[in-house]
Chains A and B, each alone.
Chain A
Amino acid sequence: MTEHALDIQQVRKSFSGHVAVRNLSLQVPRGSVYGLLGPNGAGKTTTIRMILDIIEPDSGTITVLGASSLRGRVGNRLGYLPEERGLYKKMQVRRVLRFLAELKGVSRRDADQRIERWLSRLSLTGQDRDWGNARVDELSRGMQQKVQFIGALLHEPDLIILDEPFSGLDPINAQALKDIVVDLRREGRTIIFSTHLMDNAERLCDAVCIIARGEKVLDGAIAAVKDEHGGRHVALALGEDRTAADAVAAVLGDRELVKRLDDSNRTVELELAPAASAQLLLRRLLDAGAVVERFELVQPSLHRIFLDRVGAAGVEPGMGGDG
């Protein structure tokens, strides 16, 4: 048994002249939650499709659960939730799930038992209605996503790949999904998910890989990534005091003190200038009449690191910064 659930070495893929993935190498430790982060068009989905053997890389090697080819049994140990959800719209939910399980070699009896368990766990069967008997297109988007998620897990895979699992989910369903991811990790399974939501990644992932324009920008365990990024960061929250607003703005705008500032309205994350100290900044703020509600020395957030390292240059033309 190898140490890595997934080992990608020097993989390259291009589509009619456009290079989607460029010499990408990464290792995903077994039993970890791994985040594949990057803006839209960065090559996340292409990478995932190559891992799943849906498309072949032009060069390089991909080793999944110790096997270099998914032909045979290894394919049955993989679970996949695609970015754009795909279910047969006219089919009954239970039948779709049974079909997806059968495709992974699960016997009908096992499949039926697991389907019931999952439907009830994700509240798709209950007092009001048994959604298992409904047609897929009768379900709300969130429910369809839950069904899709069940479909990716029915065969109890060792490696689970979730492409943008949280997009389009309300907070309750997103929490339910996160709980399941944590449980799966506890059971020793490996979860790889791609996302552009840094908050989710920061809370869930043991390790991440940030890619942009088909290239790896950085990878490693979250703590290591943060240490490596360095910088002294302060999370700051100020009370409402209009009279001091200008003076406070002048302090925060002082480049001798603050190297960079990320204003999220209620809280501000800032990086101290090399010569400045946190003490000095706090004193200057108080002198300016600021009402300080929070002043905390923090590690840079993944969000900050992402912005620093990928920047506007990492975003494909025409692809908004939301990716």
Chain B
Amino acid sequence: MDKLIAVIKREYFERVRSKWFLLSTILGPFFFGVIFIVPMVISARMHSSPDLSHIVILDATGTQLGNRVARTLAGGITGEASRADVRAVTPSTLAAAESTATREVMRVNDPMLGYLVLDSATIAGTAERYAGRNASTLVDVKELEDAVRRSLLAQRLEQEGLDTARIRSLTAVHLEMKSERLTERGREVGGLASAIFSYVIAFVLYMMLMLYGQQILRGVMEEKTSRVAEVVIASVSSDTLLAGKVIGVGAASLTQIVAWALSTAAVYRMRGPILSSFGVGSMSIPMPHLGLVAGVLLLLFFVLGFIFYAALFAAMGSTVSNEQDVQQASMPIMLMLVASIVFVQPILLDPTSTFSKVMSWLPFSAPILMPLRMTLVQIRWYELTATLVGLLAGCVFVTWLAARIYRVGMLMYGKRPTFREMARWVRRAA
């Protein structure tokens, strides 16, 4: 037991002390921050150009519609209309005014995005025209159209004798679509947010299994090629060494996850100041609530998944003696991991399909895909239990297999063994 602890301590502290660990632990939250914040900044940009009111309005209607549109664009009656350049023109001078405006907009340094033409057809409620640099931005055009429609409506209502305040209250319609996901289990609040959250969790699990798995593989190979293994195996059994390695590296990866979770939570709390420094207003991102049970389950899936993959990576590491073979040796394991992550998308789209269910049950993909489904839809307790039992059985089998390959592989040098040879090692050791 003391020897196992000695091995665990070495694996854990040598990793935690490394520059790589320190750097990735510190940079992790930035990385996740970027994952969270960049889409928000981008989507905020997509809402509309921030200076949409920087346009020329050519008002040939002979009414005050131009000024009204300018006010609407600037945010209603309280907003300042001065940013939009409203020019009253007559139908006969409209063509000349348009060519002037075209020249102005085409000057690169000009702040004006484009020009909007309001004429008798607009008053009739049939047409308006817009020409500008952002004319292909759908959201911008949509917003302009909406502003003209509301202004026209307000003008018509005023002509019908309604007072300004009444019109304002009647036309103040700012609709925002909130999407909700309906499943057989009912309403899922914040469908999109929970999908992003699930995706992040699945991705982090995948990343940790892959990065730390590769580290184990390389570590084992180094121990073998530098012949440390021989010294160590003269003191502890290969099983103890393998177990210590998996536990030690697993603990290091958990340390990193916990550090990341804490600092990401901190970034999330401080998102207001961070976002506003990017010029984006703080918005509420509905984070799905992660209960204690779900947290424990996530941890369980990670731990079991880690044991499953770490044991395999270690076994494979014991079969290689040089850098060139590493890629080849890790291929079968990487395939299993990649197979799990490529099915994240289809499962996100339909977490209740038979395919999604089966993928989340299989021991090799369960560590990534079951947590994903868990955060998307409610999973019945017996399904969770069965998956965990299956994964546990998978772990027992894989470690049994890995220990046997490892025992022989660690002291074999030279040519990489074929799978048939490895099967023979397993049989002989059993």
Residues of A whose CB lies within 8 Å of any CB of B are 49, 52-55, 75-76, 78, 80, 82, 84-91, 95, 99-100, 102-105, 148, 151
Contacts and interface: CB of A to CB of B under 8 A. Distances in A.
Contacts of A55: 411
22 contacts: A52-B234, A53-B234, A54-B411, A75-B235, A76-B235, A80-B234, A82-B227, A82-B231, A84-B227, A84-B230, A86-B228, A87-B228, A88-B228, A89-B222, A95-B10, A99-B10, A100-B235, A102-B6, A103-B3, A103-B232, A105-B2, A151-B231
B411 A104 contact: no
Interface string B232-248: 11111000000000000
B14 A82 contact: no
B245 to A, nearest CB: 13
Given A88-B14, A104-B235, A54 B226 contact: no
A291 B310 CA distance: 73
B320 interface: no
Interface residues of B, number: 22
A258 to B, nearest CB: 45
B144 interface: no
A86 B234 contact: no
B241 to A, nearest CB: 10
Interface string B350-363: 00000000000000
Nearest to B2: A105
Given A54-B411, A55-B411, A99-B10, A82 B230 contact: yes
B229 interface: yes
Nearest to A78: B234
A103 B14 contact: no
A105 B1 CA distance: 10
Interface string B3-26: 100110110001000100000000
B113 to A, nearest CB: 58
Q: Which of B18, B223, B233, B235 has the most CB of A within 10 A?
A: B235
B230 A89 contact: no
A86 B226 contact: yes
B3 A102 contact: yes
A151 B232 CA distance: 11
The CB with the most chain B CB atoms within 10 A, among A49, A54, A85, A87, is that of A54
A148 B234 CA distance: 14
Nearest to B14: A91
A76 B235 CA distance: 7
Interface in B209-259: 222-223, 226-236
A99 B7 CA distance: 8
List the 8 shortest-distance A-B pairs measured between CB atoms, nearest first. A86-B227, A102-B6, A86-B228, A103-B235, A84-B227, A52-B234, A80-B234, A82-B230
A86 B229 contact: yes
Q: Report which residue of A78, A87, A88 has the largest number of chain B beta carbons within 10 angstroms of its beta carbon.
A: A88
Given A52-B234, A99-B10, A88 B226 contact: yes
Nearest to B410: A54
Contacts of A75: 234-235
Given A54-B234, A151-B231, A87 B14 contact: no
Contacts of B228: 86-88
A85 B7 CA distance: 19
A100 B231 contact: yes
Tell which of B7, B227, B234, B236 has the most Cβ of chain A within 10 Å.
B234
B222 A54 contact: no
B230 A103 contact: no
Contact of B6 (A53, A88, A89, A99): A99
A79 B230 CA distance: 12
B6 A85 contact: no
A100 B230 CA distance: 12
A148 B230 CA distance: 12
A151 B235 CA distance: 12
Nearest to A152: B231
Contacts of B6: 99, 102-103
A90 B19 CA distance: 12
Nearest to B227: A86
Nearest to A15: B412
Contact of B226 (A87, A102, A105): A87
A89 B226 contact: yes
B410 to A, nearest CB: 9
A109 to B, nearest CB: 14
Given A80-B231, A90-B18, 8 more contacts: A54-B234, A82-B234, A86-B223, A88-B223, A100-B231, A102-B2, A105-B2, A151-B231
Nearest to A70: B234
A216 B338 CA distance: 54
A75 B2 CA distance: 14
B14 to A, nearest CB: 6
Contacts of A86: 223, 226-231
A91 B223 CA distance: 12
A87 B232 CA distance: 10
A103 B2 CA distance: 8
B330 to A, nearest CB: 21
A151 B228 CA distance: 11
A302 B9 CA distance: 47
A53 B234 CA distance: 7
Nearest to A51: B234
Contacts of A151: 231
Contacts of B234: 52-54, 75, 78, 80, 82
A318 B429 CA distance: 32
A100 B227 CA distance: 14
Nearest to A105: B2
Contacts of B232: 103
A102 to B, nearest CB: 4
Contacts of A148: 231
A62 B235 CA distance: 17
A50 B298 CA distance: 45
A57 B230 CA distance: 17
A84 B224 CA distance: 11
A103 B237 CA distance: 11
Contacts of A89: 222, 226
A293 B213 CA distance: 69
Nearest to A71: B237
A55 B226 CA distance: 19
Nearest to A75: B235
A84 B228 CA distance: 9
A89 B18 CA distance: 13
A151 B229 CA distance: 14
B318 to A, nearest CB: 14
